[in-house]
Chains A and B, each alone.
Chain A
Amino acid sequence: MTSAIDTSIPVDTGDWCGADPFAPNFRDDPYPSLHALRARDPVNLTPVNTWRISRYDDVATIFRKAKTSQTLADGTAPNFDPLDTRGSFLEFMLNMDDPEHQRLRRLAMQSLGPNTVRQMEDEVKKTVEQTLDKALAQGGMEIIQDMAHLVPSRMVCQIMGIPESDRELFNEWTGARTNAFFARFLPPDVQQRTRDAGNAMADYFENLVRERRGNLGNDLISALIRAEAEGDKLRDGELVVQAIGIIVAGYETTIGLIGNGTRAFLDHPEQLALLREDPGLINNAIEECLRYDTPILFNWRVLQEPFEVSGKILPADAVLWMMLGSANRDPARFPEPDRFDIRRRDVAHQAFGGGVHFCLGNALARMEARHAIGQFALRTKGIEIRQGKLEWSHSFFRVMAQLPITFH
């Protein structure tokens, strides 16, 4: 007997398959459960009716070939908390489709492209140098606060035109605000904290924009204000939302890259020795850090028409969670995927997503990490490093709150 119904698809309820990304301890070591999920159900219907795509090739194919949107056909954002409105990402470029998305992306790209990377490079080098001077004098450092957080926070605030005296306000806000991307599925207290951060950030940027209007500079906020002044290019409120989105996207993720990357080196002293011997490996090493411990474990797409993935036909309006952290450890793509190997020949990870939303800040993030991790390796040569107690932050991304180390 033949049937049109594909019985391999569970129709009623899905299954986390032992890998519930919202479970409190999921971040401790998600990789064994992500391997198990990929092996058992690579195209997985979750209990919240979304599909998790775990294989590298499937993720890449969807980014490149599938016709997708960031919202459902009726315009709803599938992962956001419906009560989260002020300062929400509804109008952030990442939640928009072309042509609106393209318009916003081009505006921001003017302040985040290669010219900015070059302009910021000396500043980043100086920050890294100073923080390492201090650490070496003190006999230790807090990897997150003194490096992984400090470097991107200084840089993003400078690019955006946020005064240095206000920088610390964002320490709490950005971490809390990352939860907004998947807040529909988070507990009420986290939802509330996320909404509070949205309100606080909207207040802050509304004020900053008001002040800046009379005093334009060459920062990103000024660039957005100029675009707004040029006519219909930026609608009311859109400006503030892009600012919140960019600071969250540009700051939290990079803490993850520098923090997790440094930790990977501390856990693999032989790789640290390799990098010290041959500092030319740094570019490949940063790619390996992005692959080995990916800062954003998953992002999302919504299918606009049915699409076949590894033998399952997913319907239009299916919400897909692209498991970047799993794709980057897929043994079908990367031999010995759990090995941290900075000499790996093919490190083409998908940590920055893909397609039209491919991370706008990738060159900036890579440059920051190159200096932070590269200098850390060189300047700690000959020193024994001991790790203290790691704590995860309340960010939705894979970001530590602290990782103290001491030098001996």
Chain B
Amino acid sequence: MGRIIFIAHDGEQHAADAQPGESLMQCAVNNLVPGIFGDCGGCATCGTCHAYIDDRWRAAAGEVNEDELLILDGSEHARPNSRLTCQVTFTEELDGVIVRLPPVQR
């Protein structure tokens, strides 16, 4: 068990309990965090789980994979710390991670 802090674009915070092994997207959806949709169910095909991982946790979140790159590369709100949260698995090292949401998902 650990914690994820989701911060919406307007600054509103949602703290959620997370289980090791689940994806950050799954945790957001289970906890009804607004702004993370997960339309494709975590297959890295829809891009509606896009978020920014705060620098402190970027390494712990792992490398961006090929499917994520295809979705993120060139997208309007992509930044160096962008991830598709369905591709990031929650681990103890990510406890307390701050995940910021982009202005829009689609």
Chain A residues packing against B (C-beta within 8 Å): 60, 63-65, 105-106, 109-110, 113-115, 117-118, 283, 287, 348, 350, 352, 354-358, 360, 362-363, 366
Contacts and interface: CB of A to CB of B under 8 A. Distances in A.
Given A354-B41, A358-B43, A366 B73 contact: no
Nearest to B69: A113
Contact of A109 (B42, B46, B70, B104): B70
A352 B41 CA distance: 12
Q: Please name the 7 residue pairs, one residue from A and one from B, whose CB atoms are nearest each other, closest first.
A: A64-B41, A115-B74, A358-B40, A114-B75, A114-B74, A358-B45, A109-B70
Nearest to B70: A109
A290 to B, nearest CB: 10
A366 B106 CA distance: 8
A352 B46 contact: yes
B71 to A, nearest CB: 7
B54 interface: no
Contacts of A363: 47, 106
17 contacts: A63-B40, A63-B41, A113-B70, A113-B73, A114-B71, A117-B74, A118-B76, A283-B104, A283-B106, A350-B39, A352-B46, A354-B39, A356-B40, A356-B43, A358-B39, A358-B46, A363-B106
By secondary structure, the A interface counts as helix
Contact of B71 (A113, A118, A348, A354): A113
A287 B106 contact: yes
B67 interface: yes
Contacts of B46: 352, 358, 362
Contacts of A362: 46, 106
Contact of B70 (A64, A106, A283, A287): A106
A65 B71 CA distance: 22
Interface in B17-44: 37, 39-43
B10 interface: no
B73 A115 contact: yes
Interface string B87-106: 00000000000000000101
Interface in B34-70: 37, 39-43, 45-47, 66-67, 70
A147 B47 CA distance: 28
B20 to A, nearest CB: 20
For chain B, the bracket of interface size reads: 20 to 34
B106 A110 contact: no
Contacts of B41: 60, 63-65, 354-355
Q: Which residue among A113, A287, A360, A366 has the maximum number of chain B CB atoms within 10 Å of its CB?
A: A113
Q: Which residue among B39, B42, B43, B70 has the maximum number of chain A CB atoms within 10 Å of its CB?
A: B39
Contacts of B70: 106, 109-110, 113
Given A358-B43, A363-B47, 14 more contacts: A63-B40, A64-B41, A64-B42, A113-B71, A113-B73, A115-B74, A117-B74, A283-B104, A348-B39, A352-B46, A354-B41, A355-B40, A355-B43, A358-B39
Contacts of A115: 73-74
B70 to A, nearest CB: 5
A106 B104 contact: no
Contacts of A350: 39
Contacts of A358: 39-40, 43, 45-46
Given A106-B67, A113-B74, A366-B106, A348 B43 contact: no
Contacts of A113: 70-71, 73-74
Contacts of A106: 66-67, 70
B66 A118 contact: no
Nearest to B46: A358
A108 to B, nearest CB: 10
Nearest to A366: B106
A281 to B, nearest CB: 13
